[in-house]
Amino acid sequence: HNGGQAELNYSYSGHIGAWRWSVTPGLIWKSARLVDYYYGLDDRDGVDTSLYYEGRSGWYPSLMLQVTKPLAENWLLLASMNWTKLHKGMTDSPLLAENKI
């Protein structure tokens, strides 16, 4: 696709007893070429012309929460949750039904 992506993240972490946690908000930018490669539709896709779509570049937010706790010397409990809200240059594509992951 010859496109590009950039991410800007900040991570803050701490602990409560044996539990360790981190929160990482971020901003992600994807180029028009990258978005069009994955979410665009044109004559190569063999779909009706009314569904043609050309992806656009844009920024969108993300948030990650991780929690860990040691269980034994070689065992660790890890829980990770991620949330991403996709930008309009992606969500306007007929290939997507949702605007968040």
- The pLDDT value recorded for residue 66 is 98
Collapsing DSSP to helix, strand or coil, 47 comes out as: coil
Q: What is the pLDDT of residues 14-55, one digit of tens each?
A: 999 999 999 999 999 999 999 999 999 998 889 989 999 999
- The pLDDT value recorded for residue 7 is 97
Q: What is the pLDDT of residues 57-73, one digit of tens each?
A: 999 999 999 999 999 99
Take residue 28 and report the two structure tokens written for it.
């992600």
Take residue 1 and report the two structure tokens written for it.
């696709």
Collapsing DSSP to helix, strand or coil, 90 comes out as: helix
- The pLDDT value recorded for residue 1 is 85
Using the predicted structure, report yes or no on whether residue 4 has a pLDDT greater than 90: yes
For residue 73, how many other CB atoms are within 10 A of its CB?
Answer: 6
The upper half-sphere exposure of residue 87, i.e. CA atoms within 13 Å in the direction of its Cβ, equals 17
Report the length, in residues, of the chain. 101
HEC secondary structure over 61-73: EEEEEEEEEEEEC
- pLDDT, average across residues 80-98: 96
Using the predicted structure, report yes or no on whether residue 84 has a pLDDT greater than 90: yes
